[in-house]
Chains A and B, each alone.
Chain A
Amino acid sequence: MMSFMKGRVLVVDDDTALAEMLGIVLRGEGFEPSFVADGDKALAAFRESKPDLVLLDLMLPGRDGIEVCRLIRAESGVPIVMLTAKSDTVDVVVGLESGADDYIVKPFKPKELVARIRARLRRSEEPAPEQLTIGDLVIDVAGHSVKRDGQSIALTPLEFDLLVALARKPWQVFTREVLLEQVWGYRHAADTRLVNVHVQRLRSKVEKDPERPEIVVTVRGVGYKAGPS
């Protein structure tokens, strides 16, 4: 549990009351929060504080959350959790497509938020050395690297987790619900769009032809599985 104590969380939110409340809760749970209220200053604050996780409100003055998310994702694979008041399809999907790993809909309970943050930070625990293959990819789990023909492919931690989960059991078809539990750490059913969007993002990085996936194969009506090695 000590690893959580050092969890630095950047809170990007313009609502000072909520930011302060988030600070209280996060500190209570042993995180180190830092705050920024303006979308334009978010990237600078991110570079300065080097957080382990970003809590990002979608509606911000200046640059909006989607834009900030895209900018952060462009230079880092740090877990991003969106705070959104809108659970409507479009907002959530746009947020996820712009690079957020997960989202949480306001109003949320503090425990829910903390559980979500912990799930995203969980992977900072030391993994056992392990080498996996999926399709023509070689995955070094401990070294957090994916290589095709010696060329390494940059993945965010979440995408890496997703790929590892599929590669560990290539014989198994994963339903979206199972993936949500294994990769995102949801114990109860959640939004399966999370899986869809991230599978798309993952495919765009690892597939030769994302239109005809060979690494992450869709099993219609059920879910996904690893492609044949």
Chain B
Amino acid sequence: MTGDSAASAPGGSGSRPGRPVGRATAGARFRRLFEGGLLQGGAKGSPVLRLFLRWMRRPLLPVMRLWRRNIQLRVVATTLLMSLGVVLLLGFVVIGQVRNGLLDAKVRASQSQATGGFAVAKQKADEAVGGTGGGTGAGTGAADGTSTPDGRQSQNVIQWMSDLVTSLASGGAGAFDVATLPVGDDSGGGRSPRGSGNVDPASSVPADLRERVNSGTTAAQSYTRIVYYNGKESQPALVIGKQVNDPNGRPYELYYLFPLTQEEKSLSLVKGTLATAGLFVVVLLGAIAWLVVRQVVTPVRMAAGIAERLSAGRLQERMKVTGEDDIARLGEAFNKMAQNLQVKIQQMEDLSRMQRRFVSDVSHELRTPLTTVRMAADVIHEAREDFDPVTARSAELLADQLDRFESLLADLLEISRFDAGAAALEAEPIDLREVVRRVVSGAEPLAERKGTRIRVVGDQQPVVAEADARRVERVLRNLVVNAVEHGDGKDVVVKLAAAGGAVAVAVRDYGVGLKPGEATRVFSRFWRADPARARTTGGTGLGLSIALEDARLHGGWLQAWGEPGGGSQFRLTLPRTADEPLRGSPIPLEPKDSRRNRGLDDAGLPRGGEEKRATVPVQHSGAQVPALPPRTSVAPGLATVTPAADPTALPGNGTGTRVVPRPAGGVRRPGDRTAESPAPDTNAARPDTAQPGDPTEPGEEFRGR
């Protein structure tokens, strides 16, 4: 922090104008990080930290991905690391043992050498003392040294010490050096440091050894580096020292220094050899691991590739099997599995074909006698006026019920065709307006009987989509007839729209509507809204199920919306081209004139609100289907108010429409067949106009392929 602040000081800005600024901002950033993260608590700082971590991690991501995905890389890397560890450990052990072996011999030799030396030094000192006492004159200088006064005596000891060092060192012939050091600061009397062979005794002998030497009378040893006066490179050495007395009986320290140059050379040779060998071993182990793993991984990868191709439907793919090892067994097992799969799939396909064949045959076998019965019944029916009333009525019932039987049979066969997957789409570009026109004109007689008017809205422009006209017409006929039958004689509005790669037809009625939850169930087979009503209206109970299958076959949606007493709306949405996935529908599922959309609360309305609803003024603007007008009040031109494609109705770009994820679990009824949805995106977010969470939400359904 402070450093950063200093960097931003004006001092440095003269020479490099750019840098201080950068440093200053970096400093500011760090300060902010500190203040944000550390001073004000982690909550504020953590996003910054997280960002930082992410930024740090980004270049590593490909490597991490490779690491996760590539077993060969992982094995080789692990092998390298582990073998490196083993080699290092081994190296340390070996080097340690070699060093110990080398040193042990040296130390033993040195110790005996030093012990001898110490004895010689003692002996020489004793001799010097004895020579003075006995007057034998053996020690030339030393003899008269004792009798001389102190100054002379010291002189003698200085000479004696130099002689001692020289004579001791000469015995080693360069194999060792000898040094003396005074005990403590007592350097007087010739006991100043001296050494053979330019050895600097004070620097070469470690202090702790000197302490040990001075604390006892036995020899002590240590490792050290010899330092020379003449600039010779210092070298490792073993130093053995002992406190010895000089001829005056004053103690001094005598050290033997054995250079370990030879041993170190041997050791470094061993180290070098070991390192080279270790490196080779590691690299070779890595290579071996790579090779070995490759042997295993290659078949595994091959198996993975073939499994992928198998799952893509190429059932004849097999692994190549060579040898009898485990990999070969894997290959054999894999191939056996593939073989069994192929056989099973073949069986399933055969079964499906048989089923289809069976349905087809049953169809034929049933239909031929039914045709005869039908024709006979018609002939009888034609002639019923000649019969007595009972027989005549029987003839009528016979004919009617044969109609019903026929349509039931036809629907059953149609459904079983869907179940067997035998339904084929024959898509070609069609104008949905044509289809709607045909459907409406076909439903006209029924509408007239029910007193219903069918209005078509949004048919100014062509509404073209690639679709199977026969199926679309069947779906729409079903929706329109249902709307008329359940519309209580009120208007039925068929609305068309096209936008954004989709076309839609919505059929709106203002009848009894749907209770919450019923929008899901209307597509169930043989489901009836009202068991009491069902008897008066015809229909097999399979119509909407077939319509749903038809919509799915197109890759489209068939969805229902309804509110109790407020009518219902069924919306068919089809992709404009057959292979295009649907993203939204040009028409909102919940019509704009629904009770909620008109801002009317169910609870706030008196019970007779249904009739009043028609007179409630329309609160929305322009592109609004007029709210349930009484039949007489429908203006002829009203249809043109609504544009053909209402762009605001597309998800996400209009008021009142919201994009909500399609509920994954709640949509599918338990009774649904599991095979109904081969598309992988059934759980994908599907935009729609539903507004979940509303307690007054009417039953809504999201359905699709």
Query: Per-residue 0/1 for B354-366: is the Cβ within 8 Å of any A Cβ (1 yes, 0 no)?
Result: 0000001001111
Say if the beta carbon of B431 comes within 8 Å of chain A. Answer: yes
Given known pairs A107-B406, A110-B378, the reply for A85 and B368 (CB within 8 Å) is yes
A94 on the B face (CB < 8 A): no
Interface check A109, CB cutoff 8 A: yes
Return the CB mask of A172-199 against B: 1 if under 8 Å, else 0. Answer: 0001010000000000110111000000
Contacts of B144 in A (CB 8 A): none
Which residues on the A side are within 8 Å of B343 (C-beta)? Answer: none
Q: Mark B407-440, 1 if CB is under 8 A from A, else 0.
A: 0000000000100001010101111001000100
A177 cross-chain contacts in B, Cβ below 8 A: 434, 438
* Inter-chain contact B429/A106, CB cutoff 8 Å: no
Nearest Cβ distance between residue B637 and chain A, in whole angstroms?
28
B464 within 8 A of A: yes
Cβ-based interface call for B375 (8 A): yes
The yes or no answer to B2 lying at the interface (CB within 8 A) is no
Answer whether residue B367 sits at the interface, using C-beta atoms and an 8 A cutoff. yes
Q: Is the CB of A107 within 8 A of B374?
A: yes
* B429 and A188 contacting across the interface, CB-CB below 8 Å: no
Identify which of B372, B426, B429, B431 contacts A89 (C-beta below 8 A). Answer: B426
For B363, list chain A residues within 8 Å (CB): 85-86
B417 cross-chain contacts in A, Cβ below 8 A: 88
Evaluate contact between B473 and A189: CB separation under 8 angstroms.
Answer: yes
Q: Which chain A residues lie closer than 8 Å to B372 at the CB level?
A: 15, 17-18, 21
List of B residues within 8 angstroms of A85 by Cβ = 363-368
Q: Contacts A110-B378, A111-B378 known; A88 to B370 CB distance under 8 Å?
A: no
Known pairs A88-B422, A177-B434; A110 contacts B375 (CB<8 A): yes
Stretch of A22-30, A116-124, A140-148 contacting B (4+ beta carbons < 8 Å): A22-30
Residues of B within 8 A of A25 (CB): 375, 379
Q: Is the CB of A17 within 8 A of B431?
A: no
User: Chain A 4-25 against B: per-residue CB contact (8 Å), 1 yes, 0 no?
Assistant: 0000000000010110011011
CB distance from B148 to the nearest CB of A (A): 140
Nearest CB of B to A188, in Å: 7
Chain A residues, CB < 8 A from B371? 18, 21, 83, 106-108
| CA distance in complex: A65, B114 (Å) | 126
Are B438 and A89 neighbours in the complex by a CB distance under 8 Å?
no
A193 to B363, CA, bound (A): 21
Check if A165 is an interface residue, CB within 8 A of chain B. Answer: no
**Is B469 in the interface zone, CB < 8 Å from A?**
yes
A39 vs B568: C-alpha distance when bound (angstroms): 54
Query: Closest approach, in angstroms, between the C-beta of A96 and any C-beta of chain B?
Result: 14
Contacts of A17 in B (CB 8 A): 369, 372
Contact of A21 with B375 in the complex, beta carbons under 8 Å: yes
* Residues of B with C-beta under 8 A to A175: 434
A24 to B464, CA, bound (A): 47
Kindly provide the distance from the CB of A180 to the nearest chain B CB, expressed in whole angstroms.
12
Q: For the complex, what is the distance from the CA of A188 to the CA of B379, rounded to whole Å?
A: 23
User: CB of B294 within 8 A of chain A?
Assistant: no
Within 8 Å of chain B (Cβ to Cβ): is A59? yes
Total interface residues in chain B, CB < 8 Å: 33
Bound form: Cα–Cα A22–B368 in Å = 12
Query: A220: CB under 8 A from chain B?
Result: yes
Give the nearest-CB partner of B366 in chain A: A85
A13: nearest chain-B partner, CB-CB: B368
Complex interface: chain A residues within 8 A of B430 (CB)? 221
Rounded to whole Å, the gap between the CB of A174 and the closest CB of chain B is: 13
Closest A residue to B409 by CB, please name it: A107
CB of A186 to closest CB in B, whole Å:
12
**CB contact list, B56-74 vs A, under 8 A:** none
CB-CB nearest in chain B for A188: B442
Residues of A within 8 A of B367 (CB): 85, 106-107
Task: Please name the residue on chain B nearest to A15 by beta carbon.
Answer: B368
User: What per-residue 1/0 map shows which CB atoms of A31-43 lie under 8 Å from chain B?
Assistant: 0000000000000
Given A88-B422, A191-B470; A107-B379 close (CB under 8 Å)? no
Contact present for A221 and B429 (CB under 8 Å):
yes
Q: B360 contacts which chain A residues (CB < 8 A)?
A: 86, 88
B372-387 contact mask (Cβ, 8 Å, vs A): 1 or 0: 1111101100000000
Structural contact, A110 and B379, CB atoms closer than 8 A: yes
Most buried by B among A22, A59, A88: A88
Decide if B368 touches A221 in the complex (CB within 8 Å): no
B364 and chain A: residue at smallest CB distance: A85
* Residues in chain B near residue A89, CB distance under 8 A: 424, 426
The distance from the CB of A111 to the nearest CB of chain B, in whole angstroms, is 7
- Cα–Cα, bound, A106→B365 (Å): 10
Contact status B379-A24, CB under 8 Å: yes
Query: How close is A182's CB to chain B, nearest CB, in angstroms?
Result: 16
Cβ distance A14 to chain B, nearest Cβ, rounded Å? 9
Closest to A86 in B: B360
> 1/0 per position for B136-175, CB-CB distance to A under 8 A?
0000000000000000000000000000000000000000
Say yes or no: A59-B422 contact (C-beta < 8 A), given A188-B442, A192-B469.
no
Q: How far is the CA of A63 from the CA of B422 in the complex (A)?
A: 26
B417 to chain A, nearest CB (A): 8
Instruction: A28 to B473: give the CA distance in the assembly, Å.
Output: 35
What is the minimal beta-carbon distance from B469 to any residue of chain A, in angstroms? 7
Residue of B nearest to A109 (CB): B378
B379 touches A221 (CB 8 A): no
A189 touches B438 (CB 8 A): yes
Inter-chain contact A108/B464, CB cutoff 8 Å: no
CB contacts (< 8 Å) of B373 on chain A: these are: 107
Instruction: Jot down 16 A-B pairs with beta carbons below 8 A, ordered by A.
Output: A15-B368, A15-B369, A17-B369, A18-B369, A83-B371, A85-B363, A85-B367, A106-B367, A106-B370, A108-B371, A109-B375, A109-B378, A111-B378, A175-B434, A192-B469, A220-B429
Kindly list 15 other residue pairs between chains A and B, CB separation below 8 angstroms, not including A88-B422, A221-B429. Answer: A21-B375, A22-B375, A25-B379, A59-B364, A86-B360, A88-B360, A89-B424, A106-B364, A106-B368, A106-B370, A107-B373, A108-B374, A109-B374, A110-B375, A177-B438
Q: Which 10 A-B pairs have the closest CB atoms?
A: A85-B364, A106-B367, A85-B367, A107-B371, A221-B429, A106-B371, A107-B370, A107-B374, A18-B372, A21-B375
